[in-house]
Amino acid sequence: MSFEKIPTVPTADEVLDRAFRRAAKKIPEKKNKKKANEEFVQAAYLSVHDKLVAVIQSFPNLSEEPQFYQDIVEIMWTTDRLKKSLGAAGWAARWAKDHRGGLAKDVRYASESNALAARKKAVARLASVVHQIEDDLLFLNEVRNVLRKLPVVEDVFTIVVAGFPNVGKSSFIRRVSSAEPEIASYPFTTKGIIIGHCYAGRQKIQLIDTPGLLDRPGIERNAIERQALSAIVNIADILLFILDPSGHCGYPLDDQLNLLEEVQGIVSVPVLIVANKCDVEILPGYLSMSTGSGEGVEKVLAELLVHRQDWVPEKPGIDQANLL
Ligand SMILES: Nc1nc2c(ncn2[C@@H]2O[C@H](COP(=O)(O)OP(=O)(O)O)[C@@H](O)[C@H]2O)c(=O)[nH]1
Ligand SMILES: [Mg+2]
């Protein structure tokens, strides 16, 4: 699923402003001031409740999404932190619901002269509760801002393309994709992640880039970057490692082979190694292609797709026939 549509999470003050604006509409039309104050409280509490419930419901249930998203949340903030903040919003929503009737009653049974004071007390308590989750709301909005820019990763057979910068990873994905690949952000790098798709018969295949994560020796990678790399690698059903023996990419072949060895140590899926830019230089003993001219590209794709027969979804989907 795409997270693009998660709405902005309001701040505590925005939740309250909205609630009081709605509540204020109740006042002028009522002759009976006590009744008006009671309805003000009812409306404000209801508005807070409904808004917070909407916030919670607009967040994806990560356990129903591909593992990739949970990994990202875990790396950036931890899923516990997210659960805690959603829980806090839920607590405030429930509080508003549970106290709405009682505090409105306080206004109703107050003396004429005390009704406004009772309303103010109810409003102050509501404001205090909503302010208690101020940081949680800010945090949820931060998560929302990252989630909505993430690439759309699907639970389909996935080819992850690795190799030094400029070896031809993006060119490969562009060449085999049936539509223009999408560029999304990956929060751990400044480079965009490229995702393309192609079809093998009716089976959808996903191709994904590893931006900015494999462009230097692993020893220079910090803990977060190692996790960020593994989140992408975890999606892979097969890894395509592209070498550029021509050296046009700017990295000596020895460095590329060292990186390859390192990558082979990280992944548990098969690794297909291909020497690119065969229009410039051929590396004996390796499968070769040119993502420039297109030579050999179909054969490489076919080799990758051999492995798709073993593919199983992360979770079995619902079989519609079983529902009937
Ligand atoms: N000569 C030649 N150049 C290529 C080939 N494939 C890609 N390039 C060039 O290599 C550069 C980097 O390609 P790109 O796909 O962006 O590499 P990435 O950084 O690994 O994604 C670009 O200037 C391409 O035009 C090829 O097969 N032959
Ligand atoms: Mg690229």
- How does pLDDT run across 226-251, given as a tens digit for each residue? 888 888 888 999 999 999 999 899 99
Cβ of residue 191 lying under 6 Å from some atom of ligand 1: no
Token pair of 268, please?
Answer: 């548990």
- Reported pTM: 0.86
Contact (Cβ atoms closer than 8 angstroms) between residue 62 and residue 70? yes
21-25 long-range contacts, CB within 8 A, separation 24+: 22/47, 23/47
Cβ of residue 210 lying under 6 Å from some atom of ligand 1: no
Cβ of residue 277 lying under 6 Å from some atom of ligand 1: yes
Q: What is the CATH architecture of 157-310?
A: 3-Layer(aba) Sandwich (3.40)
Residue with tokens 């994709």: 177
Q: Which ligand is located closest to the Cα atom of residue 293?
A: 1
What confidence category does residue 309 fall into, taking pLDDT thresholds of 50, 70 and 90? Answer: confident
Q: Is CATH 1.20.120.1190 the right assignment for the domain spanning 12-147?
A: yes
How many angstroms separate the alpha carbon of residue 166 from the centre of ligand 1?
A: 5
Cβ of residue 282 lying under 6 Å from some atom of ligand 1: no
Q: Measured between alpha carbons, how far is residue 120 from residues 11, 99, 103 in Å? A: 21, 14, 10
Higher pLDDT, 29 or 188: 188
How many angstroms separate the alpha carbon of residue 12 from the centre of ligand 2?
A: 41
Instruction: From 69, 48, 27, select the one nearest 123 (Cα to Cα).
Output: 48
Cβ of residue 171 lying under 6 Å from some atom of ligand 1: yes
Indicate the domain borders of the chain: 12-147, 157-310
So what's the pLDDT on residue 30?
64
Best substitution site from 291, 297, 298, 300 to test ligand 1's pocket, by max atoms within 8 Å of Cβ? 291
Cβ of residue 37 lying under 6 Å from some atom of ligand 1: no
Question: Which residue owns the Cα nearest ligand 1 atom 22?
Answer: 166
So what's the pLDDT on residue 1?
58
